Homo-oligomer: A and B are copies of this chain.
Amino acid sequence: MTVSFTGQRIALLGLGLISGSLARSLKAQGWPGHITAWGPRAPSLEMGQQLGVIDSWSLDLERVIQDADMIVVGAPPIATGDLLAELLPRLQSSSQRPVITDLASIKGWVIDRASCDYEGYVPGHPIAGSEDSGVRAANADLFRGREIILTPTEHTDPSATAQVEAMWQLTGARVSHLTVSDHDAALAASSHSPHMVAYALTMALADNPLAPFQHGGGALRDMTRIAGSDPVMWRDIAVTNQRALLDALNDVEAELTRLKTLIKNADGAAMERYFQRCREVRRANDTVLNPLTEIHSDSEIGSQPVAAKETSRS
């Protein structure tokens, strides 16, 4: 069943890379509504308006949400939970009852923190981003081919979920549904632990007197790129998805230990099998990881992810 997005006024609470890219994308698709934004500081909101990302802004939260039919909370996980805890009870007792969704990478902690069964709340998480942050990096194509995971709870009104889904579909994303706990465990493995691994690798090299970064090629470029990510967001993710993240890191450590044993034993045959299996697994998942290559293979956009295949061996 396809539902049209009927939202006329979107309120972004927090204006950064992700919420700004959503705004840019909707405008690029010709969506005719109004986008307003609230945030704690004027300069980035002002810049968002100057860049044409948003139509208006205010530092007054009440004013920004008063006419909104769709509220999008775009903040680091802990701030998202705090804001929802404050807002949802107010929306529940309001006459307007807008749909509200969020963008946080963690769903369980945020939903628990919100601790309100407002039926218009649709927990969400776009699997897209960049190590750059801020509205200046907002990009209308950020969500094309990417997954948006929604984790509606037992309290969520299906028509609210359908509206959030319809909004995201305008951006070229594909929307899927997961349970809250499956989301947090799957993302711990697919994203949160890889970020921790990138951080650990970067720190391991940082003070090496041989300056290995100075001899890095495409492999090191890619394996440390996300170590440039926003420290506050990743602090929040590590704090709020603690158990699933530790489980995922233990899985990676167990494989590292297994690989080290093969290296210690100079077991070339077993290593070749291990690496071959990894090559097959990686290739089998290449399309989902490089969606633009698949979807727009002849366009300029399509050529971008291919570039990520460029220089790297060593």
Contacts and interface: CB of A to CB of B under 8 A. Distances in A.
Contacts of A254: 204
Interface stretch (A24-32, A85-93, A281-289): A281-289
Interface string A182-205: 100111011111111111111111
A143 to B, nearest CB: 8
Contacts of A215: 127, 147, 149, 178, 186-187, 190-191
A256 B200 contact: yes
A208 to B, nearest CB: 6
Interface stretch (A2-10, A57-65, A162-170, A262-270): A262-270
Contact of A191 (B146, B217, B266): B217
Contacts of A246: 260, 263-264
B239 A200 contact: no
Contacts of A220: 190-191, 194, 289
Given A235-B275, A251-B208, A272-B232, A213 B190 contact: yes
Contact of A189 (B142, B212, B238, B277): B212
Contacts of A42: none
A129 interface: yes
How many monomers of this chain does the complex have?
A: 2
Contacts of A205: 189-190, 251, 281
A166 to B, nearest CB: 21
Contacts of A41: none
Interface stretch (A48-56, A94-102, A115-123, A301-309): A301-309
Given A178-B215, A198-B278, A213-B284, 6 more contacts: A189-B210, A191-B220, A196-B259, A204-B251, A226-B313, A249-B263
17 contacts: A129-B312, A129-B314, A131-B309, A186-B208, A190-B220, A191-B215, A193-B204, A198-B219, A199-B278, A203-B277, A217-B289, A225-B308, A225-B309, A231-B271, A234-B275, A235-B275, A307-B308
Sorted nearest first, the 6 A-B pairs with minimum C-beta distance are A129-B313, A191-B314, A190-B212, A304-B307, A231-B275, A200-B255
